[in-house]
Amino acid sequence: MIDVRPVAHVIGLVIVALGVAMVFPMALDWLAGDPNWRAFLKSGVLCVIAGGAVALATANALARGLTLQQIFLLTVFAWVAACFFGALPLVLGAPGLGWLDAIFEATSGLTTTGATMIVGLDALPQGANLWRAMLHWLGGLGIVIVAMLFLPVMKVGGMQFFRSEGFDTLGKVLPRALDISSALVQIYVVLTVACAVAYAALGMTGFEAVVHALSTVSTGGFSSSDQSFAKFSGVLEYVAVVFMLAGSLPFIRFIQAWQGEWVPLWRDRQVRAYLRWNAYAIGAIVAYEMLTHDLPLEVVLRETTFNVVSVFSGTGFTSADLAGWGAFPFVILFITGLIGGCTSSTGCSVKVFRYLILIEAVKLQLRRLFAPNAVHTLRYDGRAVDDDVLNAVISFFTLFMLSFGLLSVALALTGLEFKTAVTAAWTAIANVGPAFGPEVAPTGALGAFPDAAKWVMIFGMLLGRLELMAVFVILLPRFWRT
Amino acid sequence: MIDVRPVAHVIGLVIVALGVAMVFPMALDWLAGDPNWRAFLKSGVLCVIAGGAVALATANALARGLTLQQIFLLTVFAWVAACFFGALPLVLGAPGLGWLDAIFEATSGLTTTGATMIVGLDALPQGANLWRAMLHWLGGLGIVIVAMLFLPVMKVGGMQFFRSEGFDTLGKVLPRALDISSALVQIYVVLTVACAVAYAALGMTGFEAVVHALSTVSTGGFSSSDQSFAKFSGVLEYVAVVFMLAGSLPFIRFIQAWQGEWVPLWRDRQVRAYLRWNAYAIGAIVAYEMLTHDLPLEVVLRETTFNVVSVFSGTGFTSADLAGWGAFPFVILFITGLIGGCTSSTGCSVKVFRYLILIEAVKLQLRRLFAPNAVHTLRYDGRAVDDDVLNAVISFFTLFMLSFGLLSVALALTGLEFKTAVTAAWTAIANVGPAFGPEVAPTGALGAFPDAAKWVMIFGMLLGRLELMAVFVILLPRFWRT
Ligand SMILES: [K+]
Ligand SMILES: [K+]
């Protein structure tokens, strides 16, 4: 039997922290004289009491450290608990959602998906919009920490490949996990502040700048306006491009750059491939649009760059009617969403690293076919990739595609149209944000979906965000027996 | 430099055989007094002369046997050459297609895809419809021989796993390749004759029975009517189900059953999984249709069974308006098409065997996550699966999904709608048959597609039919250098 007390202890602390974080939206609404501040006070107190009680009841349980099983449980249930408690202010105050919609909204926030239940964002109290963006930001931070500290130990999806890299390279400078986390937080804060300042300097109000900076750096996608980024069309789109890209690059490289080592960032094969593939997608769509539509080059270039990077990075802001662009751009966007950002970033989906490994494996296999006796080794960035990593990458990819298929089936079963079901499954598993189809509101909100579809998407978003295997592993009966 | 003469020799013989096969449609049209027989005479003579000249010019070249490279070239170019020469009668006689449409039709025939360019099938001379069905039948026979004799040696997509099995088990009874081929041909003929007799006995005309038997057992899907199988609604659908299933089961098991060993057929894990998954898909759709539509159970059960088996086996006959069934059945059908039949059958797509291996790999990986020190071996049907096979399966799956994505992109680029582009890519790479969307004729014909889309589909159909890697490998510059 697994001892769940250390797990409960950490989750209790996470919920306390979440409650404390509610001080920010509370203060904002209180200063604005909006009675909605009470919702944050009540929710915050509930979180601190509930989380505190659990943490206290299980104090000392952590002394012996965490086993592998406990790390899995912690990762999954920390998110589940945070999605539940993070939903409180949205039920108790504006927008006054029902439980299901509020949990959907909080899950979409904490998983950095960015699909919303709400139409009428512009009319919400500022606190509510700040809280939604903060959920993104906290979720993004959480996942980078999990990706850098837990996943390599958990060996999920081939992440063990980065274990030695992350720890070796940093070994000299940052020997302990706490140091890595604190370096991460610093960089994350610096990126967010830089983004907010740039947004404010170039035309957003202070409030909009903060909300959108929180959503951008976390590649989340919530906006404080129903228009999403169409409200900020122009130079602000280019600013967003820079910070969406930053949010989907490997944060380990930023830590190194922060220490003065810029070379690893530019030399990183994943970074190069990611930027190159973004450029290809943008180039292809721009060429197509220029040939088929009569639009000014600047508009096409800007809108294409913004929306491609938005989907590729998994942010999911929109500044144009993507579905109206035509089939070719739509298919390209759909595929970029299934690739996603780099490992140990806030980006989601399969990730560039895994495609690079898979492509190497395919090439190797093709070479083996006609030269079966030559010695072939799979290499990535000069290092040999052992079969353990390859098998994990493969399993991840298979599981991702199977999950995507099954989510589509489940969503179609709830009565959604084919296109809606497939794009909603895509947006959930890859944590992108937008969905397309007749059931989607003109603003992009998914509130009209059947209840069953919302539950399926909640499950899908968690699955995608927690790298699938972390979730599936705890569903195995054997997991609980060992 | 690769010596292409032995390859050219065999391809020459294949074209001669194709020309000789044109005697059947020629005789049919001649007996019916239809002047279209001249088209087959001319085409047949052209094939025999061209193929014969090549075969004679390269005589004796085969004496030294074939190298691995030569086997790859032979597999790919035998299909390409046959698609070209098989198109001749459709250009020189009825339906008098242009070259591109005729090559599409012949490729769709020989790859057992079954997507047609032609509206007005019922009005064609019988010889033309017989020839279309014969292309299916010959292509199906060809692929089973390639799958059983060549692919295990070529180690394409993990097929080496079946090398020892096929040859060991049969080792005692059928020591040589020629014996396997002749056993195959016997079984294939017996299945086809049984199917034709059953069709004729239950209501088809003799001609319809022969054409549809040729299309059924090869899991091809061409019909002699624009209505496809809707013309034969009723008990004939159940007959078709039996023979479509037969066409997508491993033929090696039929050979064993033919020798009196029935047990391996029923014990085969692939066969069991395939039949079970068919049953699941049928059950799910029947339940959904009964809950959402007010239709008699017999109709729902029959139409669902027929159409699920038709798509799952990769046959592609239709007897109902699949797109009108709703999103859930559509997604299910879409996914079954991406699974496909069993290895060493006329079925296509990824195939059940590879999914079983991938699912085992994922399960193993999940178990490894929380018990990293235990010894885990990947097993299939009691035998250990070595990393070579696993890597080949994974590469195949990755390449399949990437090719599917790229074909969708390419088809969308030709101007097709999103849904049309994706379903056309699906039908091409998985050799299923039907496509859906505004550019598809009400009969299901794709003649209105842009020329570029037809070329992309021709490439896609060959890619899917020849197990992808066989095609990609000859596109590598290195292939030609060794
Ligand atoms: K997102
Ligand atoms: K077919």
Cross-chain CB nearest to B362 (options A156, A395, A405):
A395
Q: What average pLDDT does range A288-311 have in this prediction?
A: 92
Using CA atoms in the order B333, B334, B338, B341, what is the torsion angle rounded to 10 degrees?
Answer: 20
Name, in order, each residue with C-beta under 8 angstroms of B259's C-beta and a sequence gap of 6 or more.
B173
Nearest to A146 by CA among A171, A116, A118, A110: A110
The chain B residue lying nearest A155, using CA atoms, is B369
Per-residue pLDDT at B264 exceeds 70: yes
Ligand nearest to the CA of B318: 2
By the 8 A CB rule, do A42 and A135 touch? no
pLDDT confidence tier of residue A371, bands split at 50, 70 and 90: confident
3-class secondary structure, A384? strand
Residue B97 has pLDDT above 60, yes or no: yes
H/E element, B443:
none
Separation of B70 CA from ligand 2 center, angstroms? 28
Interface size between A and B, measured as CB pairs under 8 A: 152
- Highest mean pLDDT: which range of A147-151, A252-256, B407-411: B407-411
- CA-nearest residue of chain B to A478? B367
CB contact at 8 A, A160 and A392: yes
Residue A379 DSSP label: E
Confidence at residue B114, expressed as pLDDT on a 0 to 100 scale: 95
Report yes or no: B359 and B350 within 8 Å, Cβ to Cβ: no
pLDDT higher for A32 or A165? A32
Residue-level pLDDT at A400:
93
pLDDT, tens digit, for every residue of B275-301? 999 999 999 999 998 988 888 999 999
Measure the CA–CA gap between A113 and A426, rounded to whole angstroms: 11
Nearest to A416 by CA among A451, A445, A442, A444: A451
Q: Among A186-200, B118-132, B256-270, which is the least confidently predicted range?
A: B256-270
From the CA of B432, how far away is ligand 2's center (Å)?
4
* Partner residue opposite A370 with nearest CB, options B68, B399, B418: B68
Q: What is each CA distance from A418 to B320, B324, B444, in whole angstroms?
A: 18, 11, 19
- Give the CA angle between residues A80, A84, A89 to the nearest 5°: 150
B160 chain-A contacts, CB cut-off 8 A: none
B228's torsion region: left (phi>0), alpha (psi -120 to 50) or beta?
A: left
Among A140-149, A155-164, A460-469, B266-275, the range scoring the smallest mean pLDDT is: A155-164
pLDDT classification of A432: cutoffs 50, 70, 90: very high
State mean pLDDT over B362-385.
Answer: 78
| Residue B327: closest C-alpha in chain A | A418
Q: What is the pLDDT of residues B306-335, one digit of tens each?
A: 999 999 999 999 888 777 788 899 999 999
Q: A-chain residues within 8 Å CB-CB of B408?
A: 331, 335
Which of A345-354, B103-112, B468-477 comes out lowest in average pLDDT? B468-477
Average pLDDT over residues B417-436: 94
Q: How close, in Å, is residue A239 to chain B by CA atoms?
A: 29
pLDDT at B18 over 90: yes
Q: Amino acid identity of A325?
A: W
B185 and A CB contact within 8 Å: no
DSSP run (H or E) holding B384: strand B383-384
Query: Residue A376 — very low, low, confident or very high, per pLDDT cuts 50/70/90?
Result: confident
pLDDT the model gives residue A161: 67
Interface confidence: ipTM more than 0.85: no
Residues from chain B that touch A398, judged by Cβ atoms under 8 A, are 358-359, 361-362, 394, 397
A262 at B interface, C-beta within 8 A: no
Write down the pLDDT at residue B171: 38
Q: What is the pLDDT of residues A71-101, one digit of tens each?
A: 889 989 999 999 999 999 999 998 999 999 9
Which of B366, B377, B397, B449 best tests the A interface by mutation, with the highest count of A CBs <10 A? B366
Q: Number of H helices and number of E strands within chain B?
A: 22, 2
Tell me the C-alpha distance between B44 and B89, whole Å. 8
Contacts of A331 in chain B (CB under 8 A): 408-409, 412, 418, 421-422
Rounded CA-CA distance B189/B184 in Å is: 8
Say if residues A36 and A93 touch (Cβ distance below 8 Å). yes
Burial string for B41-52 (b: 16+ CB within 10 Å, else e) reads bbbbebbbebbe
The mean pLDDT value of chain A amounts to 89
For the segment A118-142, the average pLDDT, to the nearest whole number, is 96
Distance from CA of A143 to the nearest CA of B (A): 19
Q: Do A331 and B358 touch (CB under 8 A)?
A: no
- Phi/psi for B96 (5° steps) reads 60, 45
Structure-token pair, residue B323: 């797109």
Q: Which residue has the tokens 């919530």?
A: A222
Alpha carbons B53 and B196: distance in angstroms, whole number: 36
Query: What's the whole-number average pLDDT of chain B?
Result: 89
- The span from the CA of A273 to the CA of A283, in Å, is 15
- The residue type at A226: D
**Residue A443 in contact with residue A119, Cβ under 8 Å?**
yes
Quote the pLDDT of residue A393: 87
Mean pLDDT of B44-73: 87
Q: What token pair was written down for B288?
A: 């959904």
Stronger pLDDT, A477 or A339, i.e. the higher one: A339
According to DSSP, the residues that pair with B384 across neighbouring strands are B379
C-alpha B316 – ligand 2 centre gap (Å): 5
pLDDT higher than 70, residue A171? no
| Least CB–CB distance from B365: residue in A288, A367, A395 | A395
Give residue B262's pLDDT band: very low, low, confident or very high (50, 70, 90). Answer: confident
- The answer to whether the Cβ–Cβ distance between A370 and B155 falls below 8 Å is no
pLDDT at B392: 83
Q: What is the pLDDT of residues B168-187, one digit of tens each?
A: 443 333 455 777 788 889 99
Pick among A150, A338, A395, A419 to test the B interface (most B CBs inside 10 A): A395
Confidence at residue B322, expressed as pLDDT on a 0 to 100 scale: 75
One DSSP character per residue, A427-458 reads HHHTT-----STTS-TTS--TTS-HHHHHHHH
- What is the nearest CA distance from A57 to chain B, expressed in angstroms? 27
**B397, closest residue in chain A (CA to CA):** A398
Which residue from A minimizes the CA distance to B338? Answer: A405
Amino acid identity at A310: S
Residue A482 touches partner B, C-beta closer than 8 Å = yes
Share of chain A above pLDDT 90, in %: 63
Strand A383-384 versus strand B379-380 pairing type = unpaired
Q: How near does any CA of chain B get to the CA of A56, in Å?
A: 28
Best of B365, B472, B473 to disrupt the A interface by mutation (most A CBs within 10 Å)? B365
Helix (H, G, I), strand (E, B) or coil at B380: strand
Q: What is the pLDDT of residue A173?
A: 37
Answer whether residue B216 shows pLDDT above 80. yes
Ligand 1 centroid–CA A109 distance in Å is 9
**Cβ–Cβ below 8 Å for A391 and B361:** yes
- Of B361, B366, B412, which has the smallest distance from its Cβ to A394's Cβ? B361
Residues of B with CB below 8 A from A469's CB? 365-366, 369
Which chain A residues in 65-104 lie under 8 Å from chain B, judged by CB atoms? 68-69, 72
Quote the DSSP letter at residue A385.
Answer: P
Q: Say whether residue B277 is in contact with chain A using an 8 A CB cutoff.
A: no
Cis status of the peptide bond prior to B95, with omega within 30 of 0: yes
Give the Cα separation of B143 and A464 in Å (integer).
39
> Given a cut of 70, is residue B12 above it in pLDDT?
yes
What is the predicted pLDDT for the residue at A180? 77
Range 458-477 of A in CB contact (< 8 A) with B: 469, 472-473, 476
The per-residue pLDDT for B175 is: 52
Question: Which tops the pLDDT comparison, B167 or A146?
Answer: A146
Residue A68 to residue B408, Cβ atoms within 8 A = no
Cα nearest neighbour of A399 on chain B: B362
Q: Which residues of A touch B422 (CB under 8 A)?
A: 331
E strands, A3-102, are none
Which residue intervals of A340-417 are DSSP H helices?
352-370, 387-413
pLDDT greater than 70 at residue B164: no
Q: Do A417 and B365 touch (CB under 8 A)?
A: no
The pLDDT value given to residue A390? 83
